[in-house]
Amino acid sequence: MALLLMLATTSSVSAFSGSVNSEGWVDSFDLDKCEFSSTGKNSYFFLQPGYQLVLEGEEDGEAVQLIVTVLNETKVVDGIETRVVEERETEGGELIEVSRNYFALCSPDNDIFYFGEDVDIYEDGEIVSHEGGWLAGVGDAKHGVIIPAKPEVGLKYYQEVAPGVAEDRAEIISLNEVLDTPAGKFENVLKVEETTPLEPGVREYKFHAPGIGLIQDEDLKLVKYVLPKADMNGKGDVEKMRMERRQEIVAKESGEQIHQRHMEAAPASPGKYSPGLNYTLKATGTATGVQGESRDVSLTMDVSVWKSNGAVLILDVVGGTVRIGDETHDIELGYALYSIQHNIFRSSALVTADNGDVFVLKLRGSAEMATEGIELPTTSEGDPVELKFDEDNMGKNSLDGWKLTLNGTLEA
């Protein structure tokens, strides 16, 4: 007897309200709580025209290329407007398959639902088959989920629900893989194992990088990607370009990686603050929105000394979190500076939201004592320095449109 997967049990499976079969797979999905859109994204999947991935590799000694392109085209499937995503696969330079896949984003959770595909199989330039094609609402076929917005290890779900035709299913294996590809090195990569009852014993693995998407499909690895240049929540062209650039930076390198690279460059350090000495900024306060609304803020930022001359420290931001109200974002990377002579701390860091957007966190604060130089502790036993990020610097302290007023400490 099918078990009911309750909506409230786990936030990452809220769009999976439906039934679980005897083997533990979510195999039917309740769409009542979905507001569908043919444009949008989550951390691992884009439905924005202009987005493109190019993966290459070898299979059976032949060079294989897969090009995935989100088209400026939609199709209504089973009453839902879906986005058309084209996949073109060549082998040895010869076109072997073109598929038009139909996806839609389910708000507010941003899970990506799969409504089917039209498939053309080629031989010698001619279409010879449409094997694997299916559409939700035709026959017994129903929608599946191609990828959830908030995957959790162990989550098992059907991607295709077309009995006897297409029954691909996925299990989340890992959320923290590290992969090297021709397009770059990626961390915090999602690993998915795909199987199908139609081919028992066959397992395939796909890897998805946050902010980028699919970076490896079996032996095919990402060689090039183009992020979408439109439909970024109404942002202007300049802000779109900035957002895209920030997403690229965060996807390619972590704060810890940047710090290690700086250490390998043998930074000069005549001061007593040794390269690699770690500090933590802890602060709480208030965020004020453009309409005057107010929310509580708590922030933890981990930094590490890169260079020091005894009067000025340059620090790498290696991680942390910031919470505004009930929204928690990850601090990914950035820089910080502390001037002992002038009692000033300032930083700029990239912060990743749950939906994959990357914002800039700006902080500029001052130490409580304004007349004497304040030295940071050089060991964990030293006294923390009290900092304030208040109305005097309000214009400098911000995150995603929120103005921040904070008080905190910087301690080893």
The answer to whether 51 touches 70, Cβ cutoff 8 Å, is: yes
What average pLDDT does the structure give for the chain? 84
pLDDT at 394: 58
pLDDT at 28: 77
| Mean pLDDT (whole number) for 9-20 | 51
Is the pLDDT at 62 greater than 80? The verdict is yes
Measured CA to CA, the distance from residue 147 to residue 358 in angstroms comes to: 20
pLDDT at 11: 37
pLDDT tens digits for 331-357? Answer: 999 999 998 888 889 999 999 887 778
Q: What is the pTM of this model?
A: 0.56
Q: What is the β-pairing status of strands 184-195 and 169-181?
A: antiparallel
For 174, other C-beta atoms within 10 Å of its C-beta total 14
Is the pLDDT at 258 greater than 80? The verdict is yes
Alpha-carbon dihedral angle through residues 227, 232, 235, 239, given to the nearest 10 degrees: -20
**What proportion of the chain, given as a percentage, has pLDDT over 90?**
41
Q: Where are the domains of the chain?
A: 3-226, 255-411
pLDDT at 208: 94
| Mean pLDDT (whole number) for 291-299 | 86
Find, among 320, 308, 316, the residue nearest to 375 by Cα: 308
Fold of 255-411: Porin (2.40.160)
Is the pLDDT at 42 greater than 50? The verdict is yes
Element (H, E) at 260: helix 255-264
Q: In this structure, what token pair is assigned to residue 313?
A: 């420290």
For 333, other C-beta atoms within 10 Å of its C-beta total 21
Cis peptide upstream of residue 108 (ω within 30 degrees of 0) = yes
Q: Is 392 helix (H, G, I), strand (E, B) or coil?
A: helix
Q: Is 124 helix (H, G, I), strand (E, B) or coil?
A: coil
Buried b (16+ CB within 10 A) or exposed e, 63-101: ebbbbbbbeeebbebbebebbbbbbbbbbeeebebbbbb
**What proportion of the chain, given as a percentage, has pLDDT over 70?**
88
pLDDT at 383: 84
